[in-house]
Amino acid sequence: MLTKTRPAQGRTKPRGPSPARDAAMWGGAGFLGALAPVLGGMHPFGLALAMGLDFPCGLYAAAGAAVGYALVLPGEVCARYLGALGALAAARLAGTVRTRAPGLWLSLVSGGGVLLLVQAILTAAGIGGLDQLLLTASEVALCCGLAAAVCTVWSRPAGTPARQLGLLVVFAAVSAALSPVRLGPVRAAWIVPAVWLLADGWRARRGQMLPAAVAAAAGLALAGSGQAFAGVCIAAGALAASWLPGEKAGMAAVYFAAGCLGAAAAPDITTAVEMIVSFGCAAAAFLCIPSRLLSRPQLPPRMNPAELQAAVRLNQLAGALEAVGQTVQQVVERLPRREEGYEWVVQRVVGQVCAGCSRYSICWGEKKEDTLAQLDALRPLLENSGVVQVHQIPPGLSQCARPGALCESLGRGYALLQGRREAAARSRAMRAALTEQFGAVASALAAIGQQLGAGESADEESAARLSQMLWSLGLEPSRVSVLADRVGRVRANVLVKRMPIGDAEATQLAIEAGRCCKTSFELPRVTTSGAFTQLEFGEKAVFSPSCSEFSLPAKPGELCGDHAEHFCDARGNFHLILCDGMGTGKAAALDGAMAASLTSRLVQAGFGGEQAARLVNVALELKSDEDSAAALDVASVDLYTGQLQLFKAGAATSFLLRAGKVRCLTGGSLPVGILEGVVGGVHRITLYEDDLLVLCSDGALAAGEDWMAAQLEAFGGMAPGPLAEKLARAAADCTAGRRPDDITVQVMRMEKSMV
């Protein structure tokens, strides 16, 4: 039983303190429940509602039920219910004062026990026989069951099996309780359950419809034998209409047609007329409900245990890797940094040359300051040439007994010092790279775990049809899966024996797979590995961009340091990647190609632009001892929604042309490969049909951003291929006579898919 001081037990909506509202609502419900008969002579609904509700709502329901029983029942029958309600109210008030949280058992004993006790007293007084006492015992059991169902619905969390069962019992009780409410040929008991079932069918919740339809039919059957036929027709009509999800008018028409068909087999003409009128009113009421009121918040689909465990493990692994990286960084920052300088070389000389010398006490005793000053004077020689000759020893050290050994020890010591410094620098770089790599991988795994945790529901029926189709074509699939995400996008994954699949075969497979899954698929993405060929089908997207790029090297005959790619992944995202290797020539081309290739592979694997850039940054930093850097643009477009996410790391300004107006997308960060971490910027924009996105290297903007914007406004109507070439060549003409640079222009136009 729900207590207002315990909201955590599952009440889905908090109830504000409004005694007047509660008294009117629950008092009216108790009154209507008292009026409804079950199986001829029982009236359990008013008492059951008062027993199942919490204080003080139960008292309001008891008062309303008492009024209803007094109006419709004869004296001796009314006495039973009034006695039970009085005992229930007294027990509820006494229990509330004592414990402030009376339990369900107190209500069952006080209400049901007194009802049976009063009937026993009446039977002993000769009012009613043993059959009436047995009938009352059955009514007490029914009241207790209904009260337990009301309490369960009110107190258990949504989605639990107990609450679902309680809802079905309450739904059946409401259907039966509405049986006396009628206006001419219109019966409320034939309208309210029907509208509820049609709403469930419109939400495509067929799995919940069948139990609810059975409950409604059972409730109407309990209300009387005359209602049973209508209950069966309502359940059958609603189930038939549910096979048209999303089509309200069609569902209403099917339901009304089913009602007319049932009316043709009605036991009498009066029932037939009432069925036709009531079914028509139910269909009309369903059509009048706004669709936004029927929709419910999107819930994540249920995941199988393996997927859930994988998502949890990925998140745990991401957290562990991030913790390792942070721990390494914190330990490095707290440990004292060992800075070895020229003093280390001097100490080495003292240990190897001066120790045991007859002049040790003089050089490092009486003349210690002079000796240190003379050795320090040799530092510039070591820094310039790395060696010291005997004739270069200062006059202050001319009395040294072993000048040759002194010079040799100084040279070797300084060489070792330089090596130790370089090793320490490499160690710091490796630690920084390792920490950054841990963080990047952790971030990527967390993103993938979040995607997996969002869940996808498996469509077993479509998978079975798809598997049967593949077997009929002789492809012998070893694995077939059809999944739908939370917004309803369908994708299929098929693993077949290794075989070549051309464009014609891929087109036919996409058509047949779409028929099996009742959707329209793009051409499959074909991946061959080992003895298997994998086919990934993605639902046909709303947009199908056209994209092209054009590059010009800084000097004819040289390699271009820019590298551009574009591709569509199996998740319905279109990606554009543009890498501008710093400088020109072969080295820049190597950096640009390496950065673009790594970014492309990481993005195809599911990494976001920022996570991919962090890993590419580590790769460029460790590639060689020479500086390696590349400006990076990663644009990802969701082809279902048009959402664009543009990540820029040191890249030149990009441009968005919409309705003849140009918008500049700048990124004032540094290229990857320069710092230990990545400093980038992200633009998030919604693209629409005919929008034009232009990515370019810095060589294309030598004439300025305003020049590029003017070119786009003038020639933006051209196709992406010719436009990219025109812009690149025009930029090259504008930079004639200046320092040459590589030029690349990448153009993408948003276009609607051809269905």
Q: Which residues contact 695 (CB under 8 A, 6 or more apart)?
A: 564, 576, 578, 633, 635, 651, 654, 745, 746
Q: Is the pTM of this model over 0.85?
A: no
| pLDDT of res. 687 | 92
Tell me the HSE value of 30 on the side-chain side, using a 13 A CA sphere.
Answer: 30
* 3 state DSSP class of 686: strand
Q: Is 440 exposed, middle or buried (0-12, 13-18, 19+ CB in 10 A)?
A: buried
pLDDT in tens, 61-78: 778 777 877 777 777 677
pLDDT at residue 523, as a whole number: 85
Q: Are 616 and 545 in contact (CB under 8 A)?
A: no
Return the closest-CA partner of residue 5 out of 179, 155, 196: 155
Instruction: Between 720 and 84, name the one with better pLDDT.
Output: 720
* Helix/strand/coil percentages in the chain, nearest 5: 60, 15, 30
Enter the DSSP assignment of 9.
G
Q: What is the domain partition of the chain in residue ranges?
A: 1-177, 195-290, 342-424, 457-538, 546-749
Distance CA 604, CA 277 (A): 59
pLDDT tier, 269 (very low <50, low <70, confident <90, very high otherwise): confident
Q: What are phi and psi of 752, to 5 degrees?
A: -75, 145
Give the CATH class of 546-749: alpha beta
pLDDT attached to residue 615: 74
Q: Which amino acid is at 523?
A: L
Q: Which pLDDT tens digit goes with each residue over 685-730?
A: 999 999 999 999 888 888 888 999 999 998 888 999 999 999 999 9
Tokens representing 286? 């369903």
Higher pLDDT pick, 620 / 500: 500
Which residues 6+ apart lie within 8 Å of 465 measured at CB?
516, 517
- pLDDT above 90 for 451: no
* Mean pLDDT computed over 630-647: 88
**Residue 236 structure tokens:** 């059958």
Q: What angle do CA 24, 25, 29 make, to 5 degrees?
A: 115
**Alpha-carbon separation of residue 611 from 323, 413, 454, 599, 684 (angstroms):** 17, 44, 20, 9, 16
pLDDT at 693: 94
User: What is the reported pLDDT for 302?
Assistant: 46
Instruction: Give per-residue pLDDT as tens, 135-147.
Output: 777 777 777 777 7
Is the Cα torsion angle 175, 179, 182, 184 positive or negative in sign? positive
469 to 296, 478, 510: CA distances (angstroms): 35, 13, 12
> Above 90 in pLDDT, residue 361?
no
Distance CA(49)–CA(144), nearest Å, equals 10
Residue 3, pLDDT > 60, answer: no
Q: For 7-59, how does the pLDDT look when each residue is reduced to its tens digit (9 = 90+)?
A: 333 333 334 446 777 777 777 777 766 766 766 567 777 677 777 776 677 77
Which carries the bigger pLDDT value, residue 62 or residue 340?
A: 62
Classify residue 627 by burial, with Cβ atoms within 10 Å: 0-12, 13-18, 19+. Answer: middle
Weakest-pLDDT range from 94-98, 291-295, 670-674? 94-98
Say if residue 526's pLDDT is above 70: yes
CA nearest to 200, candidates 238, 162, 165, 228: 238
Residues 6+ apart with CB under 8 A from 669: 648, 649, 650, 679, 680, 681
Task: Supply the pLDDT for residue 749.
Answer: 94
Could you tell me the pLDDT band of residue 6, with boundaries at 50, 70 and 90? very low
Dist. CA 52–CA 108, nearest whole Å: 8
Contact 566, 658 (CB under 8 A): no
Asked whether this chain's domains 457-538 and 546-749 adopt the same fold, the reply is: no
DSSP string, 485-541: -TT--EEEEEEEES----HHHHHHHHHHHHHHHTS-BPPPEEEEETTEEEEEEEBPP
User: Can you spell out the DSSP letters for 159-170?
Assistant: T-HHHHHHHHHH
User: Mind listing the pLDDT tens digit for each residue in 581-637?
Assistant: 877 777 777 877 888 887 888 787 777 777 777 777 766 666 555 566 778 888 999
Of the CATH numbers 3.30.980, 3.20.20, 2.30.30, 1.50.10, which one belongs to the domain with range 457-538? 3.30.980
Q: What is the mean pLDDT of the chain?
A: 74
Which pLDDT does position 318 carry in this prediction? 59
**12-22: string of b/e by CB count within 10 Å (b at 16+)?**
eeeeeeeeeeb
